Structure 1
Amino acid sequence: MTTLGVRQRKPRPLLGSHAFLLVLTVALLAPVVWAILSSFKPAGEIIRNPLGFDPATFTLANFRGMFQDVPIGSGFLNTGIVLVAKGAITMFCAPLAAYAFAKYRFAGRNLIFGAVLLTLMLPTIVLVIPLLLEMKELGWVNTYQALILPGSVDAFAIFWMRQVIAAVPDELLDAARVDGCGEFGIFWRVVVPAIRPGLAGLGVLTIMNIYNDFVWPVVAASSSRMATLQVVLSTLAQNISGNRVGADYATVTGELLAAASIALVPLLILFIVLQKHFINGILAGSVKG
């Protein structure tokens, strides 16, 4: 005997929630859209009509002036070098440390992991002076070593990956050991493929943190030659005023918006391309085995 299935009624969307999310999205994106559009306006028009945009006045003058007055190219280069090197260290060492905390039993494991978590409570500003003195003793001030090594394996990355790796079944690891696989081989061939969503989420967060980092680079790299992008952006007004005689407020504002728009593009592309992986990584990191 067969029964006719009853078509389930789909839940109606919550209009109020959608409206709230729409308003929130507009509020968050409005300053970004305004900055990008204003960077293509004549400098004087930004001051006279800050909220309007006339396509007939479209110009690249702010970008041309900014490239002449500001060493933004060297800022991108230094940030790229730090991003590749520091990101590689984080993505390799943090999962290894997390694997040890998640899957090995050894004396003092919980105590050591607790000490690692305690470092999350320390404000960054508290660590700046001790780290700077250490860099001075090593002769690393104004070098890539100072920009890359401190904080390359932070407590949050270890905690994140421990939560992800803890969900990997121990039976998989035991089966690999029975097959004669070494410990690092187990990590590389069994654990890493199983935690790819978590690694992707960590990768996006790592890139964003390194790209946006300002406090440590401005202290460790005081020379303009080693300045990262965020340090360059923080000194734009001084550079523009110093390199262009008679630069007025409108000119400085236009070039500031042009530089900020260029700096924003890589992060927007990154998030759009890796949005799915980032969301999956967030969900993977929220699971505890």
Structure 2
Amino acid sequence: MSNRVTAVGKPVTARKGRVPRMGKSSRSLAGPRPGPLQYLLLIGLAVLFVYPIWWAISSSLKPPAEIIRDPLSFSPGSATLGNYRAMFHDVPIGTGFLNTVLVVAVKGAMTMFFCPLAGYAFAKYRFPGRNLLFGVLMLTLMLPTLVLIIPLLLEMSELGWVNTYQALILPGSIDAFSIFWMRQTIAAVPDELLDAGRVDGASEFGIFARIVLPVIRPGLAALGVLTAMNVYNDFVWPVVAVNDEKHQTLQVVLSTLAQNVTGNRIGADFASVWGELLAAGSIAMLPVLVLFVLLQRHFINGILAGSVKG
């Protein structure tokens, strides 16, 4: 048994029997291991969610007639790339994919740069009208996208941006949800860290770049994945903002694929259309799957970051 003196001068006795074991504590925090039934349930759910992806990819490698005749079976010996070759010949999917990559890169970069700055201002600065301005920003989340299409289209027409990349990139690049997400994430950063940076002479932007950004990295990763998926899957605004083949995104190209196949090939049957649709769909979903697999750990950590209050 040993004694130590606190800051107020009172001795405190430390008992050996009261010292917790780190191993036992870590085991208790980890929680119980899943049982066999839970593993079976998780495996069943995984198969349930993965099977449609496997079916689409495997069916895209089958001859068109076999897709209609026996849609649930797959024989590796009959695998062919004919659907992919025909699809690339009949529709400009390469142009649509390049346009989508450009829009995702530029629009995503604008979202990831400006929205964290706006969220930082709402979370850590005190200025007149802050709550009112943030409330108005939140009210915009209640507006359906279809309500904004006509005003945005008229604005693009006045600016002369119809059928341009500006029309695809700028509207929605700084959105209310991303600002709200960043505001909630940055609000959990202790103010003491920011004060320590100011004491050391760091500028406000330096505090944001060197202190805040490393702390909110999981939230940024989650926002990046959500932004990339939303822009990649966006269909309504691209189909309204552009009507020429040069600026069409991948989702617009996919929506008109069946019409392009039947229009470019005389006597194209229903099976051929299905084969090329599955081939195009398989190519379209691969980038999203790869992105999620690469960033899934950061994405899940970012989603769960606000669930634990510390």
Q: Same fold per TM (> 0.5)? A: yes
User: Which residue of structure 2 lines up, in the alignment, with residue 264 of structure 1?
Assistant: 285
User: Which residue of structure 1 lines up, in the alignment, with residue 152 of structure 2?
Assistant: 131
Cα deviation for residue 274 of structure 1 reads 1.0
Cα deviation for residue 188 of structure 1 reads 1.2
Cα deviation for residue 144 of structure 1 reads 0.5
Q: Separation in 1 of the partners of 2:177 and 2:302?
A: 14
User: Which residue of structure 2 lines up, in the alignment, with residue 181 of structure 1?
Assistant: 202
Give the direction of change, closer, same or farther, for the CA distance of 1:148–1:89 in structure 2 (3 Å limit).
Answer: same
Give the direction of change, closer, same or farther, for the CA distance of 1:12–1:211 in structure 2 (3 Å limit).
Answer: closer
Matches within 5 A, 1:101-250: 101-250=122-271
Q: Does the aligned pair in 2 maintain the 1:198–1:284 contact within 8 Å? A: yes
Matches within 5 A, 1:32-111: 32-111=53-132
Cα deviation for residue 110 of structure 1 reads 1.1
- 1:197-240 Cα offsets, whole Å, 9 max, x none, are 11111111111111111111111011111100011011100111
**Secondary structure of 1:80's aligned partner:** helix
Percent same amino acid at aligned positions? 69
- Residue type matched to 2:230 in 1? N
Give the direction of change, closer, same or farther, for the CA distance of 1:98–1:286 in structure 2 (3 Å limit).
Answer: farther
Q: Separation in 2 of the partners of 1:218 and 1:14?
A: 49
Identify which range, 181-190 or 98-107, moves more after superposition: 181-190
Cα deviation for residue 288 of structure 1 reads 6.6
Return the TM-score normalized by structure 2: 0.88
Cα deviation for residue 185 of structure 1 reads 1.4
Q: Separation in 1 of the partners of 2:239 and 2:201?
A: 49
Q: Does the aligned pair in 2 maintain the 1:198–1:285 contact within 8 Å? A: no
Q: Separation in 2 of the partners of 1:185 and 1:199?
A: 18
Q: Does the aligned pair in 2 maintain the 1:164–1:287 contact within 8 Å? A: no
User: Which residue of structure 2 lines up, in the alignment, with residue 24 of structure 1?
Assistant: 45
- Residue type matched to 1:32 in 2? I
Return the TM-score normalized by structure 1: 0.94
- Residue type matched to 1:11 in 2? P
Q: Does the aligned pair in 2 maintain the 1:166–1:288 contact within 8 Å? A: no
Q: Separation in 2 of the partners of 1:68 and 1:194?
A: 48
Cα deviation for residue 269 of structure 1 reads 0.9
Q: Separation in 2 of the partners of 1:117 and 1:222?
A: 32
Kindly indicate whether structure 1 or structure 2 has the higher relative contact order, using CA contacts under 8 Å at least 6 residues apart. Answer: 1
Q: Separation in 2 of the partners of 1:221 and 1:288?
A: 45
User: Which residue of structure 2 lines up, in the alignment, with residue 282 of structure 1?
Assistant: 303
Q: Separation in 2 of the partners of 1:260 and 1:191?
A: 39
Give the direction of change, closer, same or farther, for the CA distance of 1:79–1:102 in structure 2 (3 Å limit).
Answer: same
- Residue type matched to 2:111 in 1? T
- Residue type matched to 2:256 in 1? T
Show structure 2 runs of 5+ residues with no match: 2-15
Q: Separation in 1 of the partners of 2:32 and 2:100?
A: 47
Q: Does the aligned pair in 2 maintain the 1:204–1:274 contact within 8 Å? A: yes
| CA RMSD, Structure 1 to Structure 2 (Å) | 2.1
Q: Does the aligned pair in 2 maintain the 1:168–1:191 contact within 8 Å? A: yes
**Secondary structure of 1:246's aligned partner:** coil
Equivalences, count: 288
Identify which range, 112-121 or 68-77, moves more after superposition: 112-121
Identify which range, 49-58 or 252-261, moves more after superposition: 49-58
